Amino acid sequence: MADYENLLVETHDAVTLVRLNRPQALNALDTATLRDLIAAFAAYDADAGQRCLVLTGSEKAFAAGADIKEMADQGFAAMYDSNFFGGYEQVTATRKPWIAAVSGYALGGGCELAMMADFIIAADSAKFGQPEIKLGVTPGMGGSQRLARLIGRAKAMEMCLTGRMMDAAEAERSGLAARVVPAADLVAEALKTAATIAGMGPLAAMATKEMVHAADEMGLAQGIRFERRLFHGLFGSEDQKEGMAAFVAKRPANWTGR
């Protein structure tokens, strides 16, 4: 297992658990943390034995935002030249499923990182928000785009313009969080859900992730054709033969990812 500056990484059978670990800064997302996330997600994606990932923070904060101290003195040229935040595209390029398990504050970049996940499981203590406007800036890691797609234009506009926080109950009601669980049970529930996903055929899981995300990019007719082609394509896999044979024989499937 690799050593990371700002992450703690564990494996639980076929599930990778990644914890943001900058408690002194409420897990604020700096460049070193992004570097760690890129490496950890790449390692997960490349490991055939790992089939789902859970990303979490601390009880107090998933991540309280991007690291303001790192950005405060930057000018346009430096930010543009470095494509600041552009590295998160390497995190969202992860092909295999992953879940954000959010407790406490998920604000600014923290909310944006959570929304990069395939879905969010929230503790009842979770607080989501995009308060960048209070600092004279805007979301910069996809917040305006993902939030609008997840909760609708009106709520996303209100949150981004006022900087208010959304609690866990509203997040679930609005479609930002898939489920809310007691804070004490968050990681256990996320690992349980991840284990369920890890128990599915890995090719089918990747294809499902790809087609659901495609719904954000495609019209309905094009999306349905895309879904159908991925469905057709899985009939060229050994897992499809195994899965259907196991169903008929009423036994567990033995997935190989081929």
Q: Which residues are catalytic?
A: 66, 109, 112, 132
What is the rounded distance in angstroms from the CA atom of residue 150 to the CA atom of residue 254?
A: 35
DSSP secondary-structure letter at 134? G
Q: Are 51 and 12 in contact (CB under 8 A)?
A: no
Question: Tell me, what amino acid is at 69?
Answer: K
Report phi then psi at 205, rounded to 5.
-65, -45
Q: Are 180 and 169 in contact (CB under 8 A)?
A: yes
Q: Are 96 and 53 in contact (CB under 8 A)?
A: yes
What contacts 29, CB < 8 A, 6 or more positions away?
A: 20, 63, 65, 66, 67, 109, 110, 113
